């Protein structure tokens, strides 16, 4: 069987759970070696174990993408384990919602750290590892395409009530994506983004219970009220929210050779939803 990502090395942040985990399993099934990252050790190791049980190769790198020095260490660990990386997917993230008249600087800064500064640092570390190899390949006339995929949201494309901090960072991430596609094209690095609509994860589960998680020391709410969730479903042309596997399939399109001549694009994976 000809697997599209045979031997490629893929780094995926936030890949112990949800969409990130679905991505890791998808890329591994196509032959990629995966570097799993999660805040918590247990889900990261569980995803690695599942990949290995399916005959794939993976390692875990536990920690927050917002930690000082994380990006350089993450990429260095990937190089040590598998060699020059081929794919970077900036997937880690969460929301900390509030209307602007109630929003704090701390909420704004938290979204900046994880949704804009961390991708900047990770993209830089990835590129620094790749460029020397890409230059050597170019000298021999070899064309090897590598991929950066920045994960965004339709909130960054169209805005969303209560998410001035989150939507601002995701909108800025689109600018980063388009700029890097121009800077890195000569090194045969495709840079694209995927903006998710309503995807079923622990962060977007329909519930009227008050649920929270702790991220980087911040307690943030998760879940969407039942009525709001139902309202979203009515707005989506395909009639329902997407699954983590469907979200991963959208990102996968930017990882495979068929997307080698596509760069600087922000694709919405949202069942046709336009907010």
**Cβ 131 vs Cβ 187: under 8 Å:** yes
**Cα-atom radius of gyration of the chain, to the nearest Å?**
18
Q: What is d(CA 144, CA 138) in angstroms, rounded to the nearest whole number? A: 9
Count, in order, helices (H) and strands (E) of the chain: 9, 9
Point out which residues pair with 190 in neighbouring strands: 147
Q: Which of 94, 158, 166, 187 is catalytic?
A: 166
Cβ contacts of 164 within 8 Å, gap of 6 or more? 98, 99, 100, 103, 108
Q: What is d(CA 218, CA 215) in angstroms, rounded to the nearest whole number? A: 5
Per-residue DSSP letters for 37-66? EESSHHHHHHHHHHHHHTT--EEEEES-TT
166 noted as active-site residue: yes
Catalytic residues, by residue number, are 166
């Amino acid at each position: 069987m000809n697997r599209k990502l045979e031997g490629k090395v893929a780094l995926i942040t936030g890949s112990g759970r949800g969409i990130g985990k679905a991505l890791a399993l998808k890329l591994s099934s196509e032959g990629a070696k995966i570097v799993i990252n999660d805040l918590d050790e247990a889900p990261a190791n569980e995803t690695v174990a599942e990949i290995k049980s399916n005959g794939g190769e993976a390692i875990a790198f536990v920690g927050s993408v917002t930690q000082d020095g994380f990006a350089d260490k993450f990429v260095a660990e990937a190089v040590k384990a598998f060699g020059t990386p081929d794919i970077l997917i900036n997937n880690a993230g969460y929301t900390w919602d509030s209307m602007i008249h109630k929003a704090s600087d701390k909420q704004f800064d938290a979204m900046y750290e994880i949704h804009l500064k961390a991708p900047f640092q990770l993209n830089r570390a990835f590129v620094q590892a790749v460029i020397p190899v890409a230059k050597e390949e170019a000298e021999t006339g070899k064309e090897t395409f590598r991929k950066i995929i920045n994960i965004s949201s339709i909130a960054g494309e169209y805005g969303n009530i209560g998410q001035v901090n989150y939507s601002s960072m995701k909108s800025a991430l689109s600018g980063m994506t388009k700029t890097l596609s121009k800077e890195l094209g000569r090194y045969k690095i495709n840079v694209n983004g995927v903006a998710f609509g309503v995807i079923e994860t622990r962060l977007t589960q329909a519930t009227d219970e008050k649920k929270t998680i702790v991220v980087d020391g911040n307690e943030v709410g998760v879940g969407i009220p039942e009525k709001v969730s139902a309202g979203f479903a009515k707005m989506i042309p395909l009639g329902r929210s997407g699954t983590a596997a469907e979200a991963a399939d959208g990102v996968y399109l930017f990882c495979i050779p068929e997307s080698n001549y596509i760069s600087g694009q922000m694709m919405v994976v949202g069942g046709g939803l336009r907010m």
